[in-house]
Structure 1
């Protein structure tokens, strides 16, 4: 996008773009975002400038357009150069809808596909273990990791086929995607229904739809399971796209939706004698970004603590009505996808988006798996699918 005109206005600079739109930037904001070698370390992409040292009323001495850049000399004789694409992308007054092709493509590539059972039951997202394990970042042959990551992101889960029935190989699969997150359950788990940990996951009980780790301030981003052995019946897993269900919930029960976005819900993990984990602050079931977009669902009836604080006592009945409305949606046959896990096939899912459950079972059942951090996963996803230049433009 080219620039038609640049006009200093008080302590701001106004740019008129070739498409007729205008952007206004404060001088101090521009000075703070100077990327010269004395203000910014390009190797680490970190700011070197101490923002508190900038004069709030800093003035421009000169403004010079140069090809696809703008050179500004400030009243203290410091020179800053700004890329015009960068200025356009980071316009904040007003916030412009990016129209550059690379940003439009990025939005399309990372578009999540919300689903109900009918949309996905005959075409489950799957990848092959051997293809994934043969990929190498040293030779830029990461297409298999890219494909795997995109399927997890788009659909909220993915199956991995032809996995050796050996926990060590499953652990290597986890590490191929990202770092394993250690918790009080350990790093990589290998467990049966022997209550070696005081949690219902270590029993043969029926476990309803939920997300893990509502008792952590930062719930696990991804979770991977591999059923290594089962000589009994039951133990079927269900998956639910909670984002799709929230869409239905908001449409059909708007008041209940608001309750889930506003009422903080305390949670705990306290089964182990030396453990009583609680988040720093209770958090709502629906976590929204600053645009009001749903980015996380924290739902676990088993781990909910006693709710004895209510700003409005009348919210008590509204909250329990919201639970009824919500459960009628997430347990509907339209939304609950049942899948029988089997040795040799792993399941990985987005723990911020997709619920999982397990039916009661008989016999001996052995699983292994791990948690993986969401931020690390999203970082790798973006770098693989969008490219480093586009990612860096956004920061």
Structure 2
């Protein structure tokens, strides 16, 4: 969600995507270009056209127009000498790449971009890979497809709860849980033994458990000595948790172990649905909430608990390359 598309000056002469580009000029003038037209090379291949500039290659593949800087293309080379495919880590020293580097030869066929560098090294990129991993390709991708909901939408969806045994013992049960969680942001597991230990076993099935100032697993009960409304019998209205962490919790697991008396209902709200409405009805307010950092604090100074935590960040956190919302403080 960041990287706005730049306006490029297109200068050059037409050519064919199958032609090898000759030695490029070293003078101050712009690097001349190749195809201004699309020449599909196979019936199933997306249309491809490309044009060279002084410091980047402009590549159109299907509906995606990409600006690929030469430094980026050299640095991301996936050859055996530049990239360890077993560890998915770069072997090339980025600092060794000349910031003014230019390819000496460029060729594109129906599936692959080939670049020959001044030292003779050849870099190959699949066009599909470039379309997925370029900044422009990232702008078109949604990181996490989701269903935004209110009470009516969620009730109509009739999202099933997962039985604890299926969740713990089968991949299908875990998959069903994760699908609900990723789509709706909430998911339910039924028939969990009401103990802290069994709750911890369930949580570990999802992910590692994060250490916090409260511990890894902790109890909530009516105990105002903690100096926190969450430990009282008072109702808690809509709110977000751990906003004062540098990185707020991504998943929280709640399990009612024992309940006596009346009340205790859980209120759940889809903050992403609310944010989407703000974006549609008052985009300037959405921008304000997404850009202005706020200081979030938690102060606990009761008994043996002395904590003062501060987290700084906007209420709405969005990916800068496509403005997709990913976190609400």
Same fold (TM over 0.5): yes
Shift of 1:178: 0.5
Q: Say which SS state the counterpart of residue 278 (structure 1) adopts.
A: strand
Aligned residue for 2:308?
A: 276
Shift of 1:231: 1.6
How is 1:273-352 mapped onto 2 (pairs within 5 angstroms)?
273-279=305-311, 281=312, 283-290=313-320, 291-298=322-329
Choose from 207, 216, 219 the match for 2:236: 207
> Whose RCO is larger (CA < 8 A, sep 6+)?
1
Shift of 1:218: 0.7
CA–CA separation in structure 2 for the residues paired with 1:278 and 1:96: 32
Segments of 5+ residues of structure 1 without an aligned counterpart are 136-141, 299-395
Aligned residue for 2:11?
A: none
Which structure has the bigger radius of gyration? 2
Is contact 1:185-1:197 (8 Å) kept?
A: no
Aligned residue for 1:143?
A: 172
Aligned residue for 1:161?
A: 190
Greater share of strand residues, 1 or 2? 1
Residues 165-221 of structure 1: per-residue CA shift (max 9 Å, x gap): 222111100000101111111101234222464422222222121111111121101
Query: Residue 156 and residue 76 in structure 1: after superposition, are their counterparts in 2 closer, same or farther (change >3 A)?
Result: same
CA–CA separation in structure 1 for the residues paired with 2:89 and 2:242: 32
CA–CA separation in structure 1 for the residues paired with 2:195 and 2:49: 65
Choose from 155, 162, 179 the match for 1:127: 162
CA–CA separation in structure 2 for the residues paired with 1:57 and 1:144: 53
Segments of 5+ residues of structure 2 without an aligned counterpart are 1-44
CA–CA separation in structure 1 for the residues paired with 2:285 and 2:68: 41
Choose from 194, 211, 215 the match for 2:223: 194
CA–CA separation in structure 2 for the residues paired with 1:84 and 1:256: 39
Choose from 56, 76, 80 the match for 2:123: 80
Residues 285-307 of structure 1: per-residue CA shift (max 9 Å, x gap): 22233233332222xxxxxxxxx
Is contact 1:125-1:157 (8 Å) kept?
A: no
Shift of 1:228: 0.8
TM-score by length of 1: 0.63
Q: Say which SS state the counterpart of residue 277 (structure 1) adopts.
A: strand
TM-score by length of 2: 0.75
Is 1:51 the equivalent of 2:83? no
Aligned residue for 2:246?
A: 217
Query: Residue 292 and residue 42 in structure 1: after superposition, are their counterparts in 2 closer, same or farther (change >3 A)?
Result: same
Query: Residue 40 and residue 232 in structure 1: after superposition, are their counterparts in 2 closer, same or farther (change >3 A)?
Result: same
Is 1:115 the equivalent of 2:149? yes
Cα RMSD for the two superposed structures: 2.8
Is contact 1:2-1:84 (8 Å) kept?
A: no
Shift of 1:79: 2.1
Shift of 1:157: 0.8
CA–CA separation in structure 2 for the residues paired with 1:25 and 1:249: 35
CA–CA separation in structure 1 for the residues paired with 2:137 and 2:308: 44
Equivalences, count: 280
CA–CA separation in structure 2 for the residues paired with 1:77 and 1:264: 48
Shift of 1:237: 1.1
Shift of 1:278: 0.6
Residues 225-247 of structure 1: per-residue CA shift (max 9 Å, x gap): 11111121111110111121223
Once structures 1 and 2 are overlaid, which stretch shifts more, 260-269 or 158-167?
A: 260-269
